[in-house]
Amino acid sequence: MSLHHMTPQRQAIRDKWGSIFELEPLPGSSEYFPIEVFFVLGVSKNKTLNAAVAMEAEVKKDIIVAEFDDSYFNLTRKVLMAFKWVKEFCPTAKYVMKVDEDTYLNIPKFVALIQSLEWNNTLFGPYFFVDPVLRTGKYAISKTAFPAPKFPPHIKGNAYFMPIDVAMKILIVSEHMPYVSMEDVAITGVLAKIFNFRHFGSAKDQYYIHKAASTCELVTGSIIISQQIFVDTFYKIWDRVKNNSMCKTVK
């Protein structure tokens, strides 16, 4: 998921962890695992930003623009629209993963995890067993959309991963369910619960819930996913991916 004004952030992802999609072996490995990275946006109320994104999309060929307002309320629609796009344009995909643009994903470690486990009917990411439903404020959900006082177990929206057939089942059933605007709860909790999909939570040493990981924790440690990572840090991390000896003295 991305926002219109975050052009430098998108470029940092293209240049760094997202560059692996260019069908090169994983850093430090001869292993090949094809990955495609796309940025999903809605329509901004700012026409100048829309025009800039349209130009970027024409040049980069990796931007998907949904025909609805780019707003917090429409985050669930953005994810579902991305699933529809994958269904139409990536029919041979085996997996789908949603990653926020301020999130760093350690591709080699993540691919090793994918290949070490069986993923049938399973979603992976930072797991939350229960959250209260709020009725007021930014995160408010109406009783019509979700009447229960607590959300079902779900994966937080920074990053979640699933086999393609899981994503397609969620997409289909979403058309028959009330709309829940909190996309992580909606996609990986409410809709996933209909099929009793399993949740495989990232371990505490793979993801910090409340803070960003350090650059070297993302390179030489056990961290796979980190939130709150922005442009300069993306480049620092990647320098150390290419030369992890830098982490012997730089923390």
Residue 250 domain-assigned (yes or no): no
- Domain containing residue 157: 7-241
Determine what percent of the chain is predicted with pLDDT higher than 90: 73
Residue 246 domain-assigned (yes or no): no
How many domains are there within the chain? 1
Q: How far apart (Å, rounded) are the C-alpha atoms in residues 233 and 50?
A: 27
**How much helix, strand and coil, in percent to the nearest 5, is found in the chain?**
40, 15, 45
Residue 1 domain-assigned (yes or no): no
Residue 187 domain-assigned (yes or no): yes
pLDDT at 46: 96
Tell me which residue of 170, 103, 156 sits closest to 128, measured CA to CA.
Answer: 156
Q: What sign does the dihedral 64-66-70-74 (CA atoms) show? A: negative
Q: Which string of DSSP letters, residue by residue, matches 116-174?
A: HS--TTEEEESEES-EEPP-SSTT---TTT--SSEEPSEE-TTEEEEEHHHHHHHHHHH
- Three-state secondary-structure class, residue 194: helix
Residue 192 domain-assigned (yes or no): yes
Cβ-contact 114, 133 below 8 angstroms:
no
pLDDT at 27: 56
What's the CATH code of the domain at 178?
A: 3.90.550
Residue 248 domain-assigned (yes or no): no
103-149 pLDDT, tens per residue?
Answer: 999 888 888 898 889 999 999 999 998 889 999 998 899 999 999 99
Considering only the C-alpha atoms of the chain, give the largest distance between any 2 of them, rounded to a whole number of Å.
Answer: 55
Residue 247 domain-assigned (yes or no): no
Residue 251 domain-assigned (yes or no): no
170-204 pLDDT, tens per residue?
Answer: 999 999 999 999 999 999 999 999 999 999 999 98
What would the mean pLDDT of 203-214 be, rounded to a whole number? 91
